[in-house]
Amino acid sequence: MNYRLIKPLMVVFAVACVASAASAQPAVSPVQGKLVIPDAKVLPGVPFDMWVELRNASDGSVGVGLCPRLLVRTAKGTAFEVGHAHGGPYLVMAPGETKTLPYPIGSELGAYFFSDSRLSPPGQYTISMRMDYCFGHGVPQQDLLPPTFLGPVVTNEVTVERLQPAGSDAAVWQEILDTSKGNWPPSIFPVSQEDSRRHRSLPGLTCHRTASLRGVAV
């Protein structure tokens, strides 16, 4: 065996692997996305409104997948995603076109973001949104993507602080934790009639308005 040929061959093989892996990763869309969260300080366990401002900065039509996921980092360094892959509408933007996509907490999708208990406790959360194209319950293979889809839109990051509640707000939050056994929200749908009655009795849990420094909306 000619060992002098092994090292060059290994280098070529490594470069080919890197190139293959890079080509498998979808490019980021030329559409610019700006995430806006108007209330940067909110109480724990309460949903908040958000929206995404889109702008097609390219000179061609570009498709935007409307399958959003929140990318979240906590102040403690924990990272997680919130969202679900489900086939839905697909948006094609003309050159220079702008659009605003709202995610109000009163909507099904807006409320879904807050069904994850990791986004409820007091603390700082750095949030961005990734908007991908989904078909069925997953992201399709590259050759099955629409021709105008050039990659997911990834927005800027916004930091939201869930405040440590005090006074009557602290009492409400403690009752929420007691009701949900420390894991709020326990489920989008209560599992029993007793749970349903207890949930409705807690202030702020059935209201879909944003809570800010002014207190829990009831």
Q: What range does the domain containing 41 cover?
A: 26-164
**pTM recorded for the entire structure:** 0.71
Query: What's the number of domains the chain is made of?
Result: 1
* Residue 150 in domain: yes
Asked if residue 1 belongs to a domain, the reply is no
> What average pLDDT does this structure show over 191-208?
41
SS3 120: coil
Domain presence at residue 55: yes
Report if residue 181 sits inside a domain: no
Residue 86 lies in a domain: yes
- In a domain, residue 174? The reply is no
Residue 216 in domain: no
Q: What CATH number is attached to the domain comprising 144?
A: 2.60.40.10
Kindly report, residue by residue over 58-115, the tens digit of the pLDDT: 999 999 988 889 999 999 999 999 986 665 678 999 999 999 999 877 666 666 788 8
Could you tell me if residue 213 is inside a domain? Answer: no
- Sequential DSSP letters for 37-70: -S-SEE-TT----EEEEEEE-SSS-EEEE-EEEE
C-alpha distances (whole Å) from 89 to each of 102, 129, 135, 168 are 14, 17, 10, 43
